[in-house]
Amino acid sequence: MKKILIVEDEEAIGILMCRTLLSEGYQCDWVRTGTEGAKQIERASYSLVLLDIMLPGLNGYELLEYIRPLGIPVIFATAKGQVSERVYGLKLGADDYITKPFQVSELSARVEAVLRRSGSHRRTVTVDDVTVDFEGRSVTKGDVPVMLTAKEYGLLAELVLHKNVALSREQLYEKVWNELYTGETRTLDCHIQRLRKKLHWEDKIRTVFRVGYRLEV
């Protein structure tokens, strides 16, 4: 069964979305802030995120930046219906856009269409014997599943999507932890060390002196 995350601060709309999706046979979770949305994505695996733009904490655009490397489809559901807003959201990587107020039949149709497209274009990246499945948020090495934490997976996703590119610690930290980088490197470096060990990639994830890390392929 497909599981959908709703990030919506208006109670009436959140309840309406949940009831509609449950009646269509989906599972769904609902949170009210962008910060809660980021935490929920770390806790569970989702097939789709329905995302408002004007949210407490992280706004929808900021949360989309966090979601995008994970390969989870996103539909913006917002009252910001201007063409410029829709174009901006789509250019950032949203898969679709629905403007409030909307009919529940339109919501169901757009969810079904995006899930159909994402299911038929399952995105994976393979580096040597390691395959990253962005839809399922899973990693295998030689067909054997590799158990990664949410942060380790986020780091791996960034590295494989930017193969042979030196990524700064600031870039990696702010993308994966979704927090402002203050110069403290211990947390990031420890996660990189564990990722190297789990994948046996000591010779592939290279330290770039005074910069950060690079996946050499």
Going from the C-alpha of 44 to that of each of 130, 137, 160, 199, the distances in angstroms are 22, 10, 22, 22
Alpha carbons 175 and 46: distance in angstroms, whole number: 19
- Which DSSP helix (H) or strand (E) runs through 127? strand 124-127
Q: Which domains does the chain have, with CATH numbers?
A: 3-120 (3.40.50.2300), 124-215 (1.10.10.10)
**pLDDT over 90 (residue 80):** no
**pLDDT over 60 (residue 208):** yes
Q: Of 10, 8, 12, nearest to 29 (Cα)? A: 8
- Contacts for 171 with CB less than 8 Å, ≥ 6 apart: 158, 212
Count CB-CB contacts under 10 A for residue 84: 8
Would the pTM count as exceeding 0.95? no
Range of weakest confidence among 68-72, 112-116, 213-217? 68-72
Task: Supply the pLDDT for residue 120.
Answer: 43
pLDDT digits (tens, 9 = 90+) for 22-58: 998 899 999 999 999 998 988 887 889 999 998 998 8
Alpha carbons 176 and 188: distance in angstroms, whole number: 10
Spatial contact of 89 and 53, defined as CB atoms under 8 Å apart: yes
Task: Supply the pLDDT for residue 123.
Answer: 67
